[in-house]
Amino acid sequence: MSLKRSLPLVLILFFVGIVVFLRQPDNGGHRARSALIMGTVVDVRVYGEDEKRLEKALDEAFAEMSRVEQIFSNHIASSEISQLSAATEPLVLSLETVALLKRGQQIALQSSGAFDMTLGAVKKLWNIENNRSRIPTAEELADALEGTGSGALVIDGTEVRKARAGIMVDLGGIAKGYAVDQAVRKLREYGVRSATVNAGGDIRLLGDKNGQPWRIGIQHPRQQDALLLTLKVKDQAVVSSGDYERFFEFNGVRYHHIFDPASGRPARQCQSVTVVADDAASADALATAAFVLGPVDGLKLLEDLPGLKGLLSLLMAVC
């Protein structure tokens, strides 16, 4: 276990657990709401005295997350990302989409390609989220991987060009975190000072809870009712990537939804990674990247990131 104040992310747990819930009792002065967004139950809790204001803030936060889903979902045919995946010609996209693609590209670069937003065709082949999963052939995977990785998306101003028409873009490793950040931005805008936003394990905390940090339970990835530890966090994001939420098993082997871009197959070194960072989009993408890289290179990725502060990095177990 090491504590490094000069480093970026507050915590990384390999092989250990996913953030499951916020452990505070909810007593008085709060409003809570849940909805299904991006295929995930999103739970928002806002704290304060002015209940009308809290309700308004919730309305705005959920509207914002739905707006973000409309842009980035690859289940919505009209989304910019679906259009980009279908495109055979360069496409002019919104500034917001270009900005998120660029953030993803930066993390792709930092993670030596472990974070890869061009694995849409690989994801489609495995079909892990649809209950009709199957193991693709090596040939199918090779086809789906063709042209992916660095250089697959060329961004020039707001114009985005794919290196190969068949490349499909997938922001599943970053968009949920981004939606959470946007929700928090809205809550702030509407005067909320204390809130939690939890999109299926992508959590961001706004402020604190009555002067105390939020307490967040980390669940064991293989024991449903076991908590590994409880984190105390305020004003930051806590995001997990794991192999036990979306997966199928065949002949005793677990196939899950986080792919190693080198093979197009599920990354094998970790069971889960939790990253704490200032914003949820970065934490989301970095958790996915570190999951692929495994304990040694993943931890190095987090430690090497420049310009970030307050890292407590914790290697809980060997993957």
Give the residues lining the site for ligand ADP (CB under 6 A).
Answer: 114-117, 119, 123, 170, 172-173, 176, 201-202, 241, 245, 257-259, 261, 284, 287-288, 292
Give the chain as a 3 state SS string.
Answer: CEEECCCCCCEEEECCCEEEEECCCCCCCEEEEEEEECCEEEEEEEECCCHHHHHHHHHHHHHHHHHHHHHHCCCCCCCHHHHHHHCCCCEECCHHHHHHHHHHHHHHHHCCCCCCCCCHHHHHHHCHHHCCCCCCCHHHHHHHHCCCCCCCEEEECCEEEECCCCCCCCCCCCHHHHHHHHHHHHHHHCCCCEEEEEECCEEEEECCECCECEEEEEECCCCCCCEEEEEEECCCEEEEEECCCCEEEECCEEEECCEECCCCEECCCCCEEEEEECCHHHHHHHHHHHHHHHHHHHHHHHHHCCCCCCEEECCCCCC
- Which is closer to ligand ADP, CB of 57 or CB of 98? 98
Q: Which of 284, 289, 293, 305 binds Mg ion (CB under 5 A)?
A: 284
Q: Which is nearer to ligand ADP, 8 or 173 (CB)?
A: 173
292 makes contact, choosing from ligand ADP, Mg ion, none, with CB < 5 to 8 Å by partner type, with: ligand ADP
Integer Cα distance of 61 and 190 in angstroms = 9
Q: Which does 123 bind (CB under 5 to 8 A by kind): Mg ion, ligand ADP, none?
A: ligand ADP
Of residues 117 and 125, the one with the C-beta less far from Mg ion: 117
Residue 144's alpha-carbon distances to 38, 52, 104, 299, in angstroms, are 24, 50, 20, 29
Select from Mg ion, ligand ADP, none the partner in contact with residue 245, using the beta carbon and a kind-dependent cut-off of 5 to 8 Å.
ligand ADP
Q: Is the Cβ of residue 119 or residue 121 nearer to ligand ADP in the bound state? A: 119
CB of 214 to ligand ADP, least distance (A): 19
Question: Which of ligand ADP, Mg ion, none is residue 237 near (CB under 5 to 8 Å by kind)?
Answer: none
The answer to whether 123 and 177 have CB atoms below 8 angstroms apart is no
The nearest distance, CB 293 to ligand ADP, in angstroms, is: 10
Instruction: Kindly state the smallest distance separating residue 51's Cβ from ligand ADP, in Å.
Output: 32
Q: CB 241 → ligand ADP: shortest distance, Å? A: 3
Q: Closer to ligand ADP at the Cβ: 54 or 280?
A: 280
- Among the listed residues 79, 118, 288, 313, the single contact to Mg ion using CB under 5 A: 288
Rounded to a whole number of angstroms, the minimum distance from the CB of residue 94 to Mg ion is 22
Question: What is the pattern of x (binds Mg ion, CB under 5 A) and - over residues 151-190?
Answer: ----------------------x-----------------
Residue 172 binding result from Mg ion, ligand ADP, none, given CB thresholds of 5 to 8 Å by partner type: ligand ADP
From the CB of 178, what's the least distance to Mg ion, in Å?
Answer: 10
Decide which of Mg ion, ligand ADP, none touches 175; Cβ closer than 5 to 8 Å per partner kind: none
Per CB under 5 A, residues contacting Mg ion are: 173, 241, 284, 287-288
